Amino acid sequence: MARSTRSMDWGFPRWRSYGSAREAQQVRLCDRHGCEEPGDRPAPKSPNSPERWYFCEAHAGEYNRNWNYFEGLTAEEAAKREADERRGADGYAEASHYGWAGPGDGSRSRDEMRALEMLELEADADFEAVRLAWRRLAKSHHPDLKPGDAEAAKRFQAIQAAYDVLKAAEERRTWKGE
């Protein structure tokens, strides 16, 4: 019987699964000498060159470990370039989904960290500690206890604002089910 040369990929439904080609897939190996891993991470051979090395994940990390983006620039040129690049992304930095990117362990926003500083608490304080610190500071700086003291009134308002920020954040966390 003659061997059929007709492909099974004609028409609908497709008779074979996608990606089951008959030919062997070409896999580019890592360009590092002696490495047998697939080289699927391109890296430039030199600045402003279209030629690329192709490394595996481990060797790409080794290649990039000592990469200096500002190499060859003076300190002023490096600062100017960094400022120019940051200016282009400033509008995104204030978006609510970037709020976690503030200092600390990543679970609190920059505003929450400032509020914790205002309440004289550590970054990992729970909400019960926040409530106790707020009550303690609010009692000591309340305008009714220090009538005529503008500094105490200002401090009380700052303490109240800090508590409001942390309370809203706690409500968001409990609402999301965290």
**Which range scores top for mean pLDDT: 9-18, 97-106, 158-167?**
158-167
Taking the C-alpha atoms of residue 54 and residue 177, their distance in angstroms, rounded to an integer, is 43
C-alpha 124 chain-centroid distance: 19
| Domains assigned to the chain | 105-176 (1.10.287.110)
Q: Report the alpha-carbon angle 150-152-158, nearest 5.
A: 105
Query: Per-residue pLDDT tens for 17-26?
Result: 666 556 667 8
Query: Per-residue pLDDT tens for 94-143?
Result: 555 544 444 455 677 888 888 999 999 888 888 899 999 999 998 888 88
Identify the pLDDT of residue 89.
57
Q: What angle, rounded to 10 degrees, do the helices at 127-141 and 150-176 form?
A: 160
